[in-house]
Amino acid sequence: MVPLLYPGVKRIRGAFHVYPYLDGTVFEKTKCLFSLFRDTGHHLVHNNKAGGLNSPLSKPLSKNLKEERTGKDKDIDGRPRLGELQAPSIKSQSSDTPLESEAPLSHNLEGQQYVEAGTYIVLEIQLDKALVPKRMPEELARRVKDMIPPRPPLTRRTGGAQKAVSDYHSQIKSISRAILNEYHRMFGKHRPKEESDIDNETMEEQKCQLNYELNCSGKYFAFKEQLKHAVVKIVREKYLKTTAFESQEELQTFISELYVFLVDQMHVALNQAMPEDAPSSTSTIQTSSEQLRLFAFEAEVDEKFEMAAVYYEERLVREPQNLENWLDYGSFCLLTEDNIKAQECFRKALSLNESHVHSLLLCGVLAVLLENYEQAEIFFEDATCLEPTNVVAWTLLGLFYEIQNNDIRMEMAFHEAFKQLQARTLQTKLKSTATVQNIEEGVKTEPSFGPWGITQESSTAIKSEGQTGIRPRTSHPLSPRPTVELHPQPQGPNTALSSLDEFLEESSKAQSDSQEPIITVQPLESSLTQKSSNALLKELTSKKETSKCQDSSAFFSPTHQAIPQPPVTIFMETIRFLMKVNAVQFVHRVLAHELLCPQGGPSCEYYLVLAQTHLLKKDFAKTEEYLQQAAQMDYLNPNVWGVKGHLYFLSGNHAEAKECYERTVSFVVDASEMHFIFLRLGHIYLEEKEYDNAKRTYMQACKRSPSCLTWLGLGIACYRLEELTEAEDALSEANALNNCNAEVWAYLALVCLKVGRQLEAEQAYKYTVKLKLKDQALLEEIHSVQEMVGFGNPSF
């Protein structure tokens, strides 16, 4: 009856075993000496011709049957029992032991024959309305909308920073035209075609005369007043300065910064006004959003979180309406444990698309972490309504109910997740198989999905299995959609199986109707029949997890050879999702379920996830311990050796890291993070001066996922091999992807010094110093090469 307590369930139907009736069992469970069902059953046996269960004679005869049974009990010993004559009800309530007059199970011949025959009865219970109402999808969507209202795009303002800069450009162009007209009036429109035709003294003299004329005529003051309004708008709109400065030093710093910006923008405006005189602009490589994501991920791994934040924010500025950019930035905030900012990012993504399931799940996870449990329930339920086949959504909903100690709904969510995972696994398998060969009958049948995702053949095939004794094992007794346990029927198997066909067909039809879900209930196992439903609901130990996983996985495998076990459990799939979004705080709770579930258990991936979580905390001892256990389970797993290499690399043991990385690269199947494996392996090769191996490794990385770091490594390897042309090409690519890397400028300076390009060497060295190169050994190498060639340092 427990499934009737699931939200929205109004109808249950299931097959139940027929067991012998014993007064002691009834008394232990109900604390009553008699059962209406037992009396009605005896009445049907003795009065079969009277009309059956629905006969009008059945109800008035129930009292007579009780009196008749009392008379029979008296005849057993020849005299009535003293306690029964005085107060039988008092004895039934005060005693917890079975009655002495009951016959043991072995002596109940009438009931024993039903047990031996495997008899079962199909019962169906239907209510007018569900005991526990279920929230409608419309209500969930409305509540999510109330929490996160959709934000319309902001109307474009007539002002703003862009408008202020544009006005400044317009004023610069206007003033430049006025000054040019004044110059032509004073010195004529014809100017020399070549700069060598006019000397510097003449140019200085003309400049002084022009300045004198502008000051005397008052035009210089007019130009300054013309620019004043545009500069004030830039200060207010661009730099958001509307209050007085606190100190003179702060004022001078701001004026210096503003002056540099105004001069740069003046040059931009002049180049636009006179394009024929403007120098040709150099072609720049526009990085894509995926490249920025890669650069940010590289900065994350190197723990350069400020640089990673810059890349993520640049993606948001470029595409503010792309919800994937907000999700990635929120995941980064989870890594840095900034949960408030992560929640804002996930809710922004959800406001862009209210039907995005991943955004709903991440909002729910953040709500749980911030202990907003009411909002978390709404997010998770809305996700399951929008995508009922999502395994992760059902699993996270079950974990949430576990936190709330809502055992019934937790069982419902976990079982639904198991069912969806098994159905998806079967669907994937059956897509690759057009037909299924029936070995026993030698005929081909088209596979189809039953109401719980199992494969249904023709009715003949099912009957054949029933006759041979092959039966699917049962699911958990408290699961939301448990199944019917099939037993070999020596007496009338065709009749029983035909009713089963009808039952499966009706269940399949009913399940397709979302408005009225059908819940099928199976009989409890013999070891569980001695416990009440309330007692079973309170058992949240490992035994419950074991029974859930075993029964659910066993049911969907009628035979050992037909359908293989799925490669992952619902908990491991949820762990993968949480690790991808850096929700490490939530992972350990799911790992506990994975450990208790025998379908998963302590697997190689389980220990690998544990090692990764401890590696993030820099707990190298625990990480190594878990990696050893993972390697013992799957010695050929490339991910194990990759993470092991990261462990040794971060702990400073580069020799061991090199061996692990080389082993990972040699595998046929790539690890999940080959980009960083190539980067760190190439770094170790450069340290050990194995430049050929370093060049080959970095070339593979550049082919897979080019970035500034991969091109830089390739450029360093080529430079050390005296391949200066290839080194310059690689370093130029690195500089195009990131022109703020001091190490790239340093090696460009070395290459220019070696090939004898003085101007470029000085420019590269200038940016090396400006960006504050931290590698002192590399800086000393540049100084030594500069002294050797005699140029490259303007301070000489």
Query: What secondary structure does DSSP assign to 173-220, as a single string?
Result: HHHHHHHHHHHHHHH-S---SSGGGS-HHHHHHHHHHHHHHHHHHTHH
- Return the pLDDT at 108: 67
Among 291, 168, 297, smallest CA distance to 236 is for 168
Least confident of 26-40, 43-57, 642-656: 43-57
φ, ψ for residue 582, nearest 5 deg: 65, 25
Q: Which residues contact 114 (CB under 8 A, 6 or more apart)?
A: 18, 19, 20
| Beta carbons within 10 angstroms of residue 269's beta carbon | 21
Residue 519 scores a pLDDT above 80: no
Strand ranges inside 509-582, DSSP E = 518-520
Residue 147 scores a pLDDT above 90: no
Residues linked to residue 13 through DSSP beta bridges, in sequence order: 124, 520
pLDDT per residue as tens digits for the range 686-743: 999 999 999 999 999 999 999 999 999 999 999 999 999 999 999 999 999 998 899 9
pLDDT per residue as tens digits for the range 474-492: 333 333 334 333 333 333 3
Q: Cα separation of 257 and 259, whole Å? A: 5
Q: What angle do CA 420, 421, 423 make, to 5 degrees?
A: 65
- Return the pLDDT at 80: 45
Residue 4 scores a pLDDT above 80: no
Q: Can you give the length of the chain in residues? A: 796
Q: What is the mean pLDDT of the chain?
A: 75
- Return the pLDDT at 36: 57
Q: Cα separation of 475 and 483, whole Å? A: 6
548: helix, strand or coil: helix
Q: Cα separation of 256 and 527, whole Å? A: 83
CA-atom Rg of the chain in angstroms: 40
List of long-range contacts for 720-723, beta carbons under 8 Å, 24+ apart: 720/686, 720/689, 720/691, 721/691, 721/692, 721/695
Among 326, 360, 362, 282, smallest CA distance to 577 is for 362
Cβ–Cβ < 8 Å for 318, 328: no
Mean pLDDT of 321-327: 92
Token output for 226: 């013309």
Handedness of CA 452, 402, 357, 306 (dihedral sign): negative
Q: Cα separation of 231 and 261, whole Å? A: 11
- Return the pLDDT at 182: 86
pLDDT per residue as tens digits for the range 432-461: 675 445 444 444 433 333 333 333 333 333
Residue with tokens 């005296």, as numbered in its chain? 722
- Return the pLDDT at 214: 85
**What is the four-CA torsion angle of 601, 604, 607, 609, rounded to 10 degrees?**
-100
pLDDT per residue as tens digits for the range 542-555: 444 444 444 433 33
Cβ–Cβ < 8 Å for 394, 414: yes
The residue that leads in pLDDT, 111 or 716, is 716
| DSSP result, 394-429 | HHHHHHHHHHTT-HHHHHHHHHHHHHHHHHHHHHHH
Mean pLDDT of 96-125: 66
Cβ–Cβ < 8 Å for 520, 13: yes
- Return the pLDDT at 165: 87
Model pTM? 0.60
What's the DSSP call for residue 454?
Answer: -
- Return the pLDDT at 144: 74
Residue with tokens 């809502």, as numbered in its chain? 406
- Return the pLDDT at 560: 35
pLDDT per residue as tens digits for the range 617-671: 999 999 999 999 999 999 899 999 999 999 999 999 999 999 999 999 999 889 9
Q: Cα separation of 593 and 392, whole Å? A: 14
φ, ψ for residue 84, nearest 5 deg: -75, -30
Mean pLDDT of 666-678: 91
- Return the pLDDT at 39: 57
Q: What percent of the chain has pLDDT over 70?
A: 69
Residues linked to residue 122 through DSSP beta bridges, in sequence order: 15
CA distances from 131 to 10, 178, 384, 572 (A): 7, 85, 21, 33
Cβ–Cβ < 8 Å for 32, 26: yes
| Beta carbons within 10 angstroms of residue 597's beta carbon | 23
Position 5 confidence tier, pLDDT thresholds 50, 70, 90: confident
151: helix, strand or coil: coil
Q: Which residues contact 593 (CB under 8 A, 6 or more apart)?
A: 399, 545, 571
Residue with tokens 């929640």, as numbered in its chain? 343
Mean pLDDT of 418-422: 91
Mean pLDDT of 355-359: 92
Mean pLDDT of 267-290: 66
Cα–chain center distance at 335 = 14
- Return the pLDDT at 31: 72
- Return the pLDDT at 340: 93
Cβ–Cβ < 8 Å for 698, 714: yes
The residue that leads in pLDDT, 234 or 287, is 234
- Return the pLDDT at 34: 63
Q: Cα separation of 122 and 522, whole Å? A: 9
Mean pLDDT of 31-57: 54
- Return the pLDDT at 205: 85
φ, ψ for residue 569, nearest 5 deg: -100, 175
φ, ψ for residue 14, nearest 5 deg: -165, 170
Residues linked to residue 125 through DSSP beta bridges, in sequence order: 12
Token output for 754: 């070696």
Token output for 307: 């640089």
Handedness of CA 643, 646, 648, 651 (dihedral sign): negative
- Return the pLDDT at 127: 84
- Return the pLDDT at 59: 42
Q: Is 530 exposed, middle or buried (0-12, 13-18, 19+ CB in 10 A)?
A: exposed
